């Protein structure tokens, strides 16, 4: 009986080790990245740099490129994020230029659509047993809230997750380069003033090294017009005060359900998106569907088909507060002679907030 118990316990330990999402804790790479992470913490650069004092970086080995943002000036969240490739860069600007309130549904969607690699100052409750074992191996004694140095990544529509080897190597080079440049900035504050006076030009620190800390260029952001102030291509009905004042038609919206789930076949927990179609005058929900964010086009089309099959005629006008929804609908709307109209978020915010609270 005792032997069987030992075998079962051993089997459970192996299963836990095999299923751990944390990269091999025996790799010396961890020693290198945590040495840099501690140097970053000791620099306290977030006390004199804003989140918006961004820098451009292209990783020479992998070709990854993006924006680096040092967070913590307001003291709420401390860390450094690398918003990589065009998806990540766009997600940064969506967040930076958002005018929505922190607890709104739209704010939740913007946060869940972020893409970055991250070093954050977290808590013990954010760690896993194998991660704490790593700290023990490296003789790292983290104590107290906001003092645990944690490496994570964020992909659109997913929860924060752990870095693989390549991502860890990229963060190592990001930290190396950043530490050299912020030491240079600290002694040359006039460059920070120049950064803040020209928001469309940011330092490109891709070629900086220990022997050439001043080898930076200026990266022009004009070609990366990713702000949320893009000119609307659809007519607006911003003067309306409530959805009851809209003409007969449908309102089509999509947003994240704020509870992460994990399927057996999925490694990273993700968030479902919900698509709903409402009657524009009564506010009655005609149909809802949920699915993964990458399937949003299929979800919207399927939702419309289900409403049509249930006996509702295709309306002459469709409203949405989401530019992305209207873009998806454009080819279909042209074939059906349907007018697409962008409405202000506030028109349906009360309904969405109620649904948001009900889901959480």
pLDDT surpassing 60 at residue 18: no
DSSP annotation of 28 = T
Q: At what angle do helices 346-359 and 105-112 cross, to 10 degrees?
A: 70
Asked whether 252 and 275 are in contact (CB, 8 A), the reply is yes
Q: Residue 343: which pLDDT band, with cuts at 50, 70 and 90?
A: confident
What is the C-alpha separation between 342 and 321, in angstroms, rounded? 5
342: tokens are 């962008």
Between 302 and 8, residue with greater pLDDT: 302
**What class does CATH assign to 243-359?**
alpha beta
- Whether the per-residue pLDDT at 87 is higher than 60: the answer is yes
Location of each CATH 3.30.420.10 domain in the chain = 243-359
In this prediction, residues 17-43 reach a mean pLDDT of 89
DSSP bridge pairs for 57: 66
Q: How confident is the model at residue 239 (pLDDT cuts 50, 70, 90)?
A: very low
- Taking Cα atoms as reference points, which of 168, 175, 166 lies closest to residue 208? 175
Distances (CA, A) of 236 to 173, 279, 326, 345: 46, 18, 12, 11
Query: For the segment 254-312, what is each residue's pLDDT rounded down to a tens digit?
Result: 988 878 888 776 689 999 999 999 998 888 889 999 998 889 999 999 999 999 999 99
Q: Residue 11: is its pLDDT beyond 50?
A: no
- Rounded to an integer, the average pLDDT of 58-67 is 95
Rounded Cα gap, residues 345 and 42, in angstroms? 42
Q: What is the predicted pLDDT for the residue at 313?
A: 93
320-347: average pLDDT:
89
Q: Strands across the sheet with 317-320, in order?
A: 285-292, 272-279, 250-256, 317-320, 339-342
Residue pair 102/67 in contact (Cβ under 8 Å)? The answer is no
From the number of C-beta atoms within 10 Å of its C-beta (0-12, 13-18, 19+), residue 331 rates as exposed
CA angle 157, 173, 160 (to 5 degrees): 20
Residue 27 confidence (pLDDT) above 80: yes
Mean predicted confidence (pLDDT) in 26-44: 97
At 298 the pLDDT is 95
């Amino acid at each position: 009986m005792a032997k069987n118990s030992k075998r079962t316990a051993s089997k459970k330990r192996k299963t836990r080790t095999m299923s751990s999402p944390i990269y091999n804790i025996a790799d010396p790479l961890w020693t290198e990245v945590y040495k840099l992470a501690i140097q970053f913490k000791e620099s306290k650069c977030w006390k004199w740099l804003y989140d918006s004092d961004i820098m451009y970086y292209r990783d020479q080995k992998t070709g990854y490129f993006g924006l680096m943002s040092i967070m913590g000036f307001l003291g709420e969240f401390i860390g450094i994020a690398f918003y990589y490739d065009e998806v990540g860069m766009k997600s940064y600007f969506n967040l930076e230029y958002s005018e929505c309130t922190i607890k709104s549904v739209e704010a939740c969607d913007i946060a869940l659509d972020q893409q970055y690699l991250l070093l954050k100052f977290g808590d013990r409750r954010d760690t896993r047993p194998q991660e704490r074992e790593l700290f023990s191996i490296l003789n790292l004694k983290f104590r107290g809230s906001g003092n645990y140095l944690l490496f994570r990544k964020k992909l659109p529509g997913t929860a924060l997750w752990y870095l693989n080897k390549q991502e860890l190597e990229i963060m190592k080079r990001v930290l190396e380069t950043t530490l050299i440049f912020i030491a240079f900035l600290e002694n040359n504050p006039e460059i920070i003033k120049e950064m803040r006076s020209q928001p469309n030009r940011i330092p490109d620190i891709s070629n900086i090294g220990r022997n050439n800390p001043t080898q930076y260029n200026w990266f022009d952001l004009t070609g990366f017009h990713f702000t949320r102030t893009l000119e609307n291509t659809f007519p607006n009905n911003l003067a309306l005060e409530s959805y009851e004042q809209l003409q007969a038609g449908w309102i089509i919206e999509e947003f994240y359900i704020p509870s992460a789930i994990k399927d057996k076949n999925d490694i990273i927990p993700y968030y479902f998106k919900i698509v709903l179609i409402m009657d524009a005058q009564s506010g009655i929900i005609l149909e809802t569907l949920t699915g993964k964010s990458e399937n949003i086009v299929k979800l919207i089309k399927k939702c419309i088909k289900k409403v049509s099959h249930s006996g509702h005629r295709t309306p002459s006008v469709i409203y949405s507060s989401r530019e992305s929804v209207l873009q998806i609908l454009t080819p279909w709307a042209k074939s059906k002679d349907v007018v697409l109209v962008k409405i202000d978020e506030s028109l349906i915010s009360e309904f969405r907030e109620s649904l948001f609270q009900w889901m959480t």
